[in-house]
Chain A
Amino acid sequence: MTAADAHRAVLAIWRIEQPRLITSLARMLRDVPLAEELTQEALLAALEHWPAAGVPERPGAWLMTTARRLALNHLQRVPMLERSHAMLLRELEQDQMLPPDYDATLDDDIGDEMLRLIFTACHPLLPYDARPALALRMICGLTTAEIARAFLVSEATVAQRIVRAKRTLTESGLTYETPRGEELTERLSSVLEVIYLIFNEGYTAARGDDWQRPDLCGEALRLGRVTVAIVPHEPEAHGLLALMELNASRTAARTDAGGEPILLLDQDRALWDQLQIQRGMRSLARAEELGGAGGFYALQAAIVACHARAARAAETDWLRIALLYAQLSTVTRSPIVELNRAIAVGMAEGPASGLAILDRIADAPELRIYHLLPSVRGDLLRRLGRHEEARAAFETAAALAGNTRERELLLRRAREMGES
């Protein structure tokens, strides 16, 4: 085994064990940022010892013992302020003397702690760009370097975001709390937003050379499944999971061998992942059973489900999609949703009707530099046979697109208009 192999093997075990380590320390110390710091130290210890000595027979137990010892050392160093602190210290010291219980690592029900951890990482008080980084770090066990690669920013930037976010948590006293009832529902929207942000970053990369980064989608799906497990009665959690599963089911069909994007209606549907579609459909059904059919994520999932149900592109129920977008529009009042409605209406009733909707949102400030507005316009104009106007629209869209692959696709479409 090379050093790099050993390193990867340690990180793989780490990712499986980390949530339990951090939740366990957070419960003991009642301080999430501190717990995170100490679990990172346990990882460093593993990276130092395992490659030479070999991975221990029960790596989870090894990590837990190490993390708890680090917590004990920490508590011994800091001045003793409270009685609870003294009790915790005594408990930990006794703990160190007990023989290890190998299956204890499986006995912890960490549901409640996990909820606390996710809600802390996605706290609305934290800077917007720090939340995904903190969630990937604390819940998915990604290293700073992995997060930096995923978001195409420097490691220093990620490290700084995490440090600042943890400082905010410590200074605002939000280091250990569990939202309940109404507060939970309210705070959940921030959690779902962070997960969706991570998913979209991977699904249609806003920047960079690759159009999609499936690894990041995988992390978001994992977070979505964790969330559903800890708040099983929240319909929007199921709605978001459904939306992500259904979108991710098309991953293999969305690009060609050269990495070029393939549009939904041109995709080889045999490449859609039927297992994932089934999972998405089940999550959507669950969201609807819980009374959440009209939710922001459930509605979007219902739209994607219309595509998933169509065995061939020509069988797509565009009328239903247009209706769902109209419903989504009343929930969000977003011109981007209207843009999508224009596509659906353009398919259900014809390009002229779609164009009429586009004309109504053409001046929306949110869409001023949004490449999909001229892109959709170009497509509708193309179908009306107005090729010269279509070409100009595709060129405008290409100039606005930030992703290399997408820009190339739009330029190709512009050229096709010139040739016909």
Chain B
Amino acid sequence: MRFMSIVTAPRSHQYGNPTPELLEAMGKLADREIKAGRMIDNGGLMPIDQAVRITIANGELSVLDGPFVEAKEVIGGYSITEMASKEEAVALAIEFMQLHKDHMPGWEGTCEVRAFAGFAGS
């Protein structure tokens, strides 16, 4: 089963400056998971101020450059993993979030584990 885990944080907590300790720990965790054959892709995203939004509303398509002051939750990064079960994907996400708790006190956010459509068991 393939999963995408997406980390979101309140705008005030978005990944502006992760502590070096957190960066290092996340790097090690990703390295371990890649070598274990489970993680197939991962990445952090640039701040939302540099994003572009293409929206359809009321039948109109519009393109809008950041910053988006109304954005409350911001996606900071993601990983794509291939796991034997949802429980495994959840266990890894918990370990990943624990690193934030340990290495970036005060940080708040959410990691959402989503299964890809079209895979056995999903």
**A contact set with B: CB distance below 8 Å:** 8-9, 11-13, 15-16, 19, 57-60, 102-103, 106-107, 111, 114, 214-215, 218-219, 221-226, 229-230, 251-252, 271, 275, 279
Contact = CB atoms under 8 A, between A and B. Distances in A.
A229 B29 contact: no
Nearest to A252: B118
Given A8-B85, A8-B87, A16 B92 contact: yes
Contacts of B34: 225, 229
Interface in B28-48: 28-29, 32, 34-38, 40
B93 to A, nearest CB: 11
B87 A226 contact: no
Dominant SS among interface residues on chain A: helix
A418 B113 CA distance: 52
A9 B37 contact: no
B38 A9 contact: no
A279 B90 CA distance: 24
Given A8-B85, A222-B37, A224-B37, A16 B95 contact: yes
A111 B35 contact: yes
Given A106-B28, A107-B28, A223-B37, A215 B120 contact: yes
B11 to A, nearest CB: 28
Interface string B64-100: 0000000000000000001011011011100100100
A227 to B, nearest CB: 9
A16 B88 contact: yes
Contacts of A58: 98
Given A226-B35, A229-B34, A218 B88 contact: no
Given A106-B28, A215-B84, A252-B118, A16 B91 contact: yes
B39 to A, nearest CB: 9
A102 B120 contact: no
13 contacts: A12-B85, A16-B88, A57-B98, A60-B95, A103-B102, A106-B25, A111-B35, A218-B82, A221-B37, A221-B82, A225-B34, A229-B35, A279-B40
A218 B34 CA distance: 14
Contacts of A279: 40
A201 B50 CA distance: 49
Nearest to B118: A252
Given A11-B87, A13-B91, A57-B98, A252 B37 contact: no
Interface string B92-122: 1001001000100000000000000011110
Contacts of B36: 16, 19, 222, 225-226
Contact of B32 (A102, A106, A218, A221): A106
Nearest to B27: A106
Given A102-B102, A106-B25, A215-B84, A12 B91 contact: yes
Interface centre among A11, A15, A57, A215 (most CB of B within 10 A): A15
B87 A214 contact: no
B31 to A, nearest CB: 9
A218 B84 contact: yes
Contacts of B88: 12, 15-16
A53 B24 CA distance: 31
A7 to B, nearest CB: 10
B119 to A, nearest CB: 7
Given A13-B91, A103-B102, A226-B36, 11 more contacts: A8-B85, A9-B90, A12-B88, A12-B90, A12-B91, A16-B92, A111-B35, A214-B120, A225-B36, A229-B37, A251-B120
Contacts of B92: 16
Nearest to B120: A214
